[in-house]
Amino acid sequence: MQRRAPHIRRALGMKIRLLRRDRGWSQEALGQHSDLSGKFIGEVERGEKSISVDSLYRVSVALKVPLAQLADSKEKVRSALNRASRKSGRTVATASDDTFLYVWDEPSQLT
């Protein structure tokens, strides 16, 4: 039986996006630094595509962060999202079971 974990892909993608944006890079720039396509980086960031360990390693080298930091617990992802939320003015919320993370551009989108 194959199990899918879209919430893990989304959390990992959000973490990659936050680290990329912290560096002021576009998806295309991260793709160039990691020898991947910018389109693929975008799909990974949105949780649409799974990323192989080899490609994740290339992303970690490009971002100059340990591979373990990318695969770290969702608590660290939540912490990074909260920091980004304060910086950008966006609202971050989690489901009650902490399996999903959502980011809204406007607080009015919460209703």
Q: pLDDT tens-digit profile of 63-72? A: 999 988 887 6
In a domain, 31, yes or no: yes
The pLDDT, as a whole number, for residue 100 is 45
The whole-angstrom separation of Cα 5 and Cα 3 is 7
pLDDT at 38: 96
- The answer to the question of residue 1 being in a domain is no
How far apart are alpha carbons 5 and 109 in whole angstroms? 25
Residue 54: domain span: 6-110
Which pLDDT value is given to residue 70? 82
Structure-model confidence comparison of residues 84 and 1, the more confident one: 84
Instruction: Measure the CA–CA gap between 31 and 76, rounded to whole angstroms.
Output: 24
Name the nearest CA neighbour of 14 among 110, 101, 107: 101
Predicted local distance difference test score (pLDDT) of residue 83: 67
Q: How many CB atoms lie within 10 A of CB 76?
A: 14
- Let me know if residue 32 belongs to a domain: yes
CB 65 within 8 A of CB 33: no
Q: What is the mean pLDDT of residues 74-89?
A: 63
Q: Is the pTM for the entire model greater than 0.85?
A: no
For residue 13, give the CATH number of its domain.
Answer: 1.10.260.40
92 or 89, greater pLDDT = 89
How many separate domains does the chain show? Answer: 1
Give per-residue pLDDT as tens, 15-62.
899 899 999 999 999 999 999 999 999 999 998 999 999 999 999 999
Q: Which residues does 6 contact at the CB level (< 8 Å), separation at least 6?
A: 47
